[in-house]
Amino acid sequence: MNDGTLLTDGSRPAVRLERHLEDPPSVVWRALTDREQLRSWFPCDVVVADGRWDVGATITFQFPPEVIDMTLTGRVLAVDEPNVLAYSWGEEILRFELSAEGGGTRLVLVDELPAGIAARNAAGWEVCLDRLAGLDPAPDAWRPRFEAYAAAFEPTLGRQEGPPDGYQGD
């Protein structure tokens, strides 16, 4: 576990995760915005209207049918290349902040979300960010992370939900 933190100072809770990546911000930015590169680490296919990350653009998030039959929609909320990218993802808001650090990039991901899914998402984002960093986590790597986050977050947020109905991945 990379110690994601729970933020409760906003209108909704958020989970904050941080990674140091070896590549400079311009390279990491492409990993966040290029559809082909997103496929290597993001949990679903990301299709931005007209292929352009412009504020207000609509986004479709299609999960693989063998994992779950689910499609989410969103909208681009902020773009400051290569520093900040924010968008809605279903009921959530994802914000990626990039800054140069030690020849690479410090990536901060903040996921503003419904309280009951904080542990699930923190664990899932850890696995995704591991992939982004070039690691190959075990297929069930999120499970022990979820258990740890659920134990940490439940006193503040209440019961934490596991995978959504119909989820077949691991």
Q: Please report, for the domain that includes residue 74, its CATH number.
A: 3.30.530.20
For the chain, helix (H) and strand (E) counts, in that order, are 4, 8
Crossing angle, helix 118-132 and helix 142-157, to 10 degrees?
140
Count the domains in the chain.
Answer: 1
Q: Which domain holds residue 32?
A: 5-157
Does residue 163 form part of some domain?
Answer: no
Does residue 165 form part of some domain?
Answer: no
Strand partners, 65: none
Does residue 164 form part of some domain?
Answer: no
Q: Are 96 and 109 spatial neighbours (Cβ–Cβ below 8 Å)? A: yes
> What rounded mean pLDDT belongs to the chain?
95
pLDDT band at 166 (very low <50, low <70, confident <90, very high): confident
Distance CA 92, CA 102 (A): 31
Give the number of other CB atoms < 10 A from CB of residue 37: 17
**What is the per-residue pLDDT across 72-88, written as a single tens digit (0 to 9) for each?**
999 999 999 999 999 99
The DSSP H or E segment spanning 33 is: helix 25-33
pLDDT band at 137 (very low <50, low <70, confident <90, very high): very high
**What is the per-residue pLDDT across 112-136, written as a single tens digit (0 to 9) for each?**
999 999 999 999 999 999 999 999 9
Does residue 23 form part of some domain?
Answer: yes
> Any residues with CB less than 8 A from the CB of 159 and at least 6 apart, and which?
116
